[in-house]
Structure 1
Amino acid sequence: MAIHRIPKSKQKPRSPVLLLVISIAVIAFLWLFCSSSSMAGFSFSSARTLVNVRGLKKDRNYGLEKYLYWGNRIDCPGKHCDSCEGLGHQESSLRCALEEALFLQRTFVMPSRMCINPIHNKKGILHQSKNANSEEEWAASSCSMDSLYDLDLISDTVPVILDNSKIWHQVLSTSMKLGARGVAHVEGINRIDLKENNAYSNLLLINRTASPLSWFMECKDRNNRSSIMLPHSFLPSMATKKLWDVAEKVKRLLGDYDAIHVRRGDKIKTRKDRFGVERSLHPHLDRDTRPEFILRRIAKWVPPGRTLFIASNERKPGFFSPLSTRYKLAYSSNYSLILDPVIENNYQLFMIERLILMGAKTFIRTFKEDDTDLSLTDDPKKNTKDWQIPVYTMDE
C-alpha cells in the first residue's frame, strides 16, 4: 500500500487525546517487551538452578541462601548405622535440626529418605537381596521423605531442600570451589556461636556431620523449653497432602468422636536386677494401659456412648474389647478399604492415625507431651534411668 505524504502546510494540529493514546500504546508495548525478555531470562538461567526443589515458591530465592547440613540419615548413631529408631524418635532429631536452621536463618538440607526399622513396618517394603550392597539395603529399608511430609508446607516455616536435588549438588560444587570460605565442618559449637561468629555466619554451608553422635544425641538436652522454636505437633501436622486427604475421609466417617493413643509394646520393658526382681523404667505403664484401668482413667473426660478411636501398637487381638461396654470402638483397621490403597509402610499409617487423633473432640495421650495434655499414665515419657518394680494395683 502506497503511503502519500501530506505537505506540512496542510497538516492539521494533532489532538491532545490522540497524542495521549499513542503514548499509552508505546508504553504498553515497551512493558510487554521487557516482561517477555525477563521471563525468557528466568526460563534459561534461574530455572536450571531451582529444578527439583519441591514446594518452591516465587518469594523464595534459594540460589542466594545459606545452607545447613546435618547428614544424609536422620538416625545414624555414630558407627552403628545399621540400627534404626522409630518415627517419633527420628522426628525428635529432625525437629531439632530444623530448629537450628530456623535459628540460623539458613535453608535446611533434608535427607531424601528416612530409615524404617523392620519392627515398625508390617507392610513388607523390606525386600533385601543377599547380594545387595549397603546403599541398596538402605534404599530397601527406607522410604522417600516426600512420601511422608509436605516439603512445601515445611518450607513456609523453615526453607528446606532435599539432598538429592540439583540445587544441593550446585551448593556442594560451589562450596568446594570456595574452600575454607565456603564450608565449615563444625563439632561442639553451639548455635549461638554459629550465628554470631562471622567465621561461621558468612559461610555458604555449615556441615554438622563432624560429630560422631546421632542427631538425637546432638539434640537430647532440650530441658530449656524457652529455646524450643518448633512445637511437638509441627512435623505431625506437616504430613503430605495424600495422607491428609485419607485422614479427612476417615474423620468424616467417624463423625463426632474422641480418641486415645495407647503405647504399650515398645515401652513395656522389664529386666531383672541382681536379686532376680523384675524392674521397669515405666512402673505404672503396663497397668495404666490395660482396659480396666483405661475405663477408670478416661471416665471423667469421655462420656459413655461416645465413639472412641484407638491407635495403639498393642498386638494382642481384642485387647481393648472391654472398652466396648461403655464406648463405640473404632480402629484404623475398620477403614482398610480407604487406607490400604494409599499406605506403603507403618510410618504412613501412623502419620494418618496421628491426624485422626488430632481431630478428636477429646484426645488422650499415653504420656504427657505438655502440662495441659490428658494422659493415660503419670509416668514420665523421658528415660529417667530409674528402674523400678512394676505396679499392677491401684495405688492411690
Structure 2
Amino acid sequence: MKSGNAAPESLRQRAARAIGNALFGLFVAVVLLLTVFAVTYQPPDPWLDTAASAVRMKQLFNKVVDNATFQTAGSIFLTGEDALAPANSRAGGSISIEDAQDAAEKALEVTRGLNNGGKDRGCVESDIVVNCSDPGVLAAIEKVNLEKFPEIDAFEYRVPVQGGDERSCDVAWKYRPRRERSKRMYRDYRRYTLVLEPSCEYQVTDVGDWHSGRNARLQRFHGINAFNDSISSRGDDDSSSVGRFLYYTRGGDHCKGMKQFMWSFLCALGEAQYLNRTLVVDLDFCLSGKDNFPGRGDEPGKDLRFYIDFDHLRESTSVIELKEFSKLNKKHKLGKIRKRVISDNVKVSPMELRDETSTIVERSFRESSEPDNYWYRVCEGETEKVIQRPWHMIWKSKRLMNIVNTICGKLEWDFDAVRVERGEKAANKQLWPNLDKDTSAEAVLSKLSERIDAQRYVYISTNERSPGFFHKLKEKYEVSVLDDYKDLWGPGSEWYNETMALTKGKPVEFDGYMRDAVDSEMFLRGKKRIETFGDLTSDCKDGINTC
C-alpha cells in the first residue's frame, strides 16, 4: 500500500519539476532575447533614416510650426524658437493700455502748465510748435501704438524729438512681435503728427511708416540691433583658465543639407554639455546645393553666422570659435597638454568620456567613411537616451529676422499670407496634374476672394520668380512678394553692411536658403494663412496618390 502511493507521488513531483524547468527555461530565453534586442537595437534617426521616420518627425514638428519650405528636400531647419508657443497675450514687462492711460493722466497737469492752462481752464489750440518733450506727447504716442499695432509688445520708449515740421515728433521704441518665439528685442522709430486739444490732451492725427522717424534713429537701446557675434580675443594670460575642450573635426556632414548638419551640430553641443566641456565651433560652413537656388551646386566658404544667432549660442553655453581656439592653443601651448584623439567615434560613447581628464578631447572623423563620419552617429543607440540635443540654443539669425520684422513693419503688422508653391512641381503634370492651373494668378485671386477681405495687405510666400506673375491680385489686394523688398539686402542695406563685417569686406549673396527662411517666417506671421496644398489645389503635396 505504501509503495503504491509512492509511485503516483513520485510521478507528480517529476512532472512538477519538469514544468518548473520548462517555465524557467522559457523565462531565461525571453530575458536573453530582450537583452540582445536592447544591446543591438538602434533607434532610427528621425531626420535621416527611413521615410516612415521622416513622416513621424514631420507630424511632430507640424504641431509646432508649419512645414516651411518650397524645396523638395525640405530645407528649412526648425530652431529653438519654433518649439515655443507664440504669445497670445501681452508679454510681461511690456507697456499696457492701463500703463499708457496712467501716463496720460499724470502728464495732463504738466501739459496744462506748459500751455498756460490752469486746473479748471482748458488749453488753447493754436499753430504753436508741438513740444515733443512734453510727457503728454509720449503718452499719446503710446496709446495710439497700442491701438494700431496689437501684434507687437512695446517695452521702452525714448524721449520724442522734433520731427520734420512744427506739428510732428519722432520717437524710437523697442518691441517684440507677439509671434516672435524668441526673447529678442527689436527697434522701430516713426514720425507722428499731433494736435493739442482744448482738453489739454494731445491727439495723434497721423502715424508715419516703418522707420520714418529719422531724427530718432540715432537713439540707441542697450542690446537692440547690436550684434555681438564677432570673433573676439579672450585676452587671458592665465593658462589655468583655459578649461577643457571638445572638438569635432570636419566630417561627412560638411556640404550636406542644413537639416542633417544641424542635427549633427546639436549632437556635438549635447555631448559638450554632458561632458561639461567647451565646444570648438568651426564657423566655416558649406551650403548644400539642395538648400540653395535650383541648379546651384554646393557652396563652401559660407559663415554659419549668416544662418544662426551665434551671439545667443554663446550666451547659452560654452563655445569657442575654431580660429580663436587655434590662437589660444599657440598662446598657452595647449599642444603640450594632454589631448585624446578618438577615431572610432561610433564605438567610443560620451558615457565612456565622462571621467576623461585630458584638456582636449578631439573626435576625428577624417579616417572614417560615410555614414560613420557623420557627427550625429555619436548620439545614436544607447547614447540617445543620455545626450539631450539642446534645441533652445539654436535661434534663427537675427540679421534675417530683422528683415522679417522690417517687412512686417512696412505691412503695419496687419497682413494675411498665402503660400504659392510652383516651380518644378507645377511643371510636372504627371505627379501634380492640377497645380499649375490652380496656382495661376486668376485661380489664386478667386480662392483668396472667398477668405480674405478686399484691400487687405497680402504677403505671397512663393518660389515663383517671374516678375509680375501675381500682378492681377493687385486689383483687389495690397499684394507683395519678397522681391519687392530687395533693398533690405541690397548694397548699402543694414544686412549687406553687417554681413560684410563678417567677411572682411567681401559682399555676401542673399542665397536661396536665406530667401526661404524669410519667406517662411513671413508666412507664419500672417493673420490668415492659406496653403498651396489643401487650400489652393486638390493635388497631393508629394505627388499623385500620396495624400
Computed over aligned residues only, the root mean square deviation of the Cα atoms, in angstroms, reads 5.5
Give the Cα–Cα distance (whole angstroms) in 2 for the partners of residues 375 and 217 of structure 1.
Answer: 39
Selected match of 1:212 from 343, 347, 369: 369
Matched residue, 2:409: 252
- Deviation of 1:239 after TM superposition, in Å, equals 0.8
Counterpart of 1:390, as a letter, is I
SS at match of 2:479: strand
Alignment of 1:192-207 (within 5 A): 193-195=349-351, 197-198=353-354, 200=356, 204-207=360-363
Selected match of 2:342 from 184, 192, 213: 184
TM-score (norm 1): 0.52
Contact 1:113 1:142 in 2 (8 A): yes
Contact 1:258 1:307 in 2 (8 A): yes
Give the Cα–Cα distance (whole angstroms) in 1 for the partners of residues 387 and 477 of structure 2.
Answer: 41
Give the Cα–Cα distance (whole angstroms) in 2 for the partners of residues 294 and 215 of structure 1.
Answer: 47
Matched residue, 2:396: 238
Give the Cα–Cα distance (whole angstroms) in 2 for the partners of residues 214 and 74 of structure 1.
Answer: 7
Give the Cα–Cα distance (whole angstroms) in 2 for the partners of residues 172 and 109 of structure 1.
Answer: 16
Specify the structure having the higher radius of gyration (Cα): 2
Any stretches of 5+ residues in structure 1 without a counterpart? 1-51, 77-83, 127-137, 271-276, 369-373, 381-387
Distance 1:335 1:197, change over 3 A: closer
Matched residue, 2:505: none
Matched residue, 1:70: 248
- Deviation of 1:119 after TM superposition, in Å, equals 7.3
Distance 1:331 1:313, change over 3 A: same
Selected match of 1:155 from 301, 311, 314: 314
Alignment of 1:71-220 (within 5 A): 71-72=249-250, 75-76=253-254, 84-85=255-256, 87=258, 90-117=261-288, 141-166=300-325, 170=329, 176-179=335-338, 182-189=340-347, 193-195=349-351, 197-198=353-354, 200=356, 204-209=360-365, 211-213=368-370, 218-219=375-376
Give the Cα–Cα distance (whole angstroms) in 1 for the partners of residues 267 and 363 of structure 2.
Answer: 15
Distance 1:113 1:218, change over 3 A: closer
Give the Cα–Cα distance (whole angstroms) in 2 for the partners of residues 320 and 147 of structure 1.
Answer: 30
Distance 1:351 1:110, change over 3 A: farther
Q: Give the % identical residues.
A: 19
Contact 1:243 1:352 in 2 (8 A): yes
Distance 1:204 1:90, change over 3 A: closer
TM-score (norm 2): 0.40
CA deviation map 1:287-345 (0-9, x unaligned): 79835887799899866654232333333445555666775322121112232133422
Counterpart of 1:188, as a letter, is V
CA deviation map 1:34-74 (0-9, x unaligned): xxxxxxxxxxxxxxxxxx7459899xx99444333333478
CA deviation map 1:151-210 (0-9, x unaligned): 22112223322222245651898664345x5443342147xx404544658663241525
Structure with greater contact order relative to length (CA < 8 Å, sep ≥ 6): 1
Counterpart of 2:281, as a letter, is M
Contact 1:260 1:308 in 2 (8 A): yes
Give the Cα–Cα distance (whole angstroms) in 2 for the partners of residues 159 and 87 of structure 1.
Answer: 23
Contact 1:151 1:160 in 2 (8 A): no
Contact 1:262 1:289 in 2 (8 A): no
Counterpart of 2:544, as a letter, is P
CA deviation map 1:359-394 (0-9, x unaligned): 4445567799xxxxx9999978xxxxxxx8635xxx
Give the Cα–Cα distance (whole angstroms) in 1 for the partners of residues 385 and 478 of structure 2.
Answer: 38
Contact 2:473 2:479 in 1 (8 A): yes
Any stretches of 5+ residues in structure 2 without a counterpart? 1-229, 497-507
Distance 1:218 1:186, change over 3 A: same
- Deviation of 1:111 after TM superposition, in Å, equals 1.9
Selected match of 1:338 from 470, 485, 488: 488
Give the Cα–Cα distance (whole angstroms) in 2 for the partners of residues 72 and 97 of structure 1.
Answer: 12
Contact 2:269 2:279 in 1 (8 A): yes
Give the Cα–Cα distance (whole angstroms) in 1 for the partners of residues 361 and 437 of structure 2.
Answer: 48
Contact 1:53 1:162 in 2 (8 A): yes
